[in-house]
Amino acid sequence: MKCILLCAGYATRLFPLTQNFPKALLKVGQRAIIDYILEKVNKIDEVDKIYLVTNAKYSEHFTNWANEKNNVKPITVFNDGTTSNDDRLGAIGDIQFVIDNSKLEDDILVIATDNLFDFELKDFYDFYKTKNSPCVCVRKEDYEKLKSLGVANLDENNKVIQFEEKPADPKGEFAVYAEYIYPRDVVPEIKKYLDEGNSCDAPGNLITYLYNKFPTYAYEFTGDCHDVGTHEALAYVNEVYKDKK
């Protein structure tokens, strides 16, 4: 299994902090946001390589971070060549960029690096091994919060039977968070999705495409998952994580 860390966004809502510095490397508590995620990825023995995709603006920051980290699992940093929100590839476009440039032919674990979460990715992986189908991470949320997230309906076996991205009137009760696993035989569908002219941005849009073609399952996690997207959210997680080592 390969892991893809999505770090190519421009985090405009966090300007000026992120005007010349990537959000994933901002400190929360005593560590960079991405360090908490990397620690959880490292616990999955089956992941043998990590690909981090970023943009031209932040590439040097991440290359320096990866070199200094000297991680137990090798990290390759890809620069997607974009320089602003106007020419960005989008999350799904960046996933395909990594697939193309790494000649990837394995299962993939995809993680958006602006989320801080409590659950262990190893537990998510163990759930995936019982399904061997596309898997997403979900948690029950209140009605108002669901309007700003991807929302899934599940059957009694945790199979996704409906998915909507940021619905005005949510039909389900499970929010889908940006941690995904795709089996190697499903990975070529990502290029088909893009070739058909579908949105290259929010990774949840890919779930809308896939669940109609493949059994797609939801891992319901417990604990917190924070989207560090605004100054208020960053201040909040700094308070929550201030004593974590």
Least confident range from 81-95, 126-140, 207-221, 231-245: namely: 231-245
Q: CA torsion sign, 72 to 44 to 36 to 65?
A: positive
Residue 66: the pLDDT is 97
Structural domain range at position 118: 2-240
Residue 114: the pLDDT is 87
Q: Give domain status of residue 144, yes or no.
A: yes
Query: Does residue 243 carry a pLDDT above 90?
Result: no
Residue 4: the pLDDT is 98
CATH number at residue 169: 3.90.550.10
Q: Specify the higher pLDDT residue, 172 or 195.
A: 195
Q: Give domain status of residue 210, yes or no.
A: yes
Residue 210: the pLDDT is 95
Residue 3: the pLDDT is 98
Could you tell me which of 245, 134, 132 has the C-alpha nearest to residue 180? 134
Query: Does residue 218 carry a pLDDT above 70?
Result: yes
Residue 242: the pLDDT is 84
**Number of neighbouring beta carbons within 10 Å of residue 222:** 8
How would residue 85 be classed by pLDDT, with cut points 50, 70 and 90? confident
Residue 49: the pLDDT is 98
Could you tell me which of 211, 202, 121, 111 has the C-alpha nearest to residue 159? 211
Q: How far, in whole angstroms, is CA 109 from its chain's centroid?
A: 9
pTM score: 0.95
pLDDT digits (tens, 9 = 90+) for 120-142: 999 999 999 999 999 999 999 99
Query: Does residue 2 carry a pLDDT above 70?
Result: yes
Average pLDDT, the chain: 94
Query: Does residue 245 carry a pLDDT above 70?
Result: no
Residue 76: the pLDDT is 98
pLDDT digits (tens, 9 = 90+) for 52-74: 999 999 999 999 999 999 899 99
Q: Give domain status of residue 185, yes or no.
A: yes
Query: Does residue 244 carry a pLDDT above 80?
Result: no
Question: How many structural domains comprise the chain?
Answer: 1
How would residue 163 be classed by pLDDT, with cut points 50, 70 and 90? very high
How would residue 190 be classed by pLDDT, with cut points 50, 70 and 90? very high
Q: Give domain status of residue 178, yes or no.
A: yes
Q: Give domain status of residue 245, yes or no.
A: no
Residue 28: the pLDDT is 94
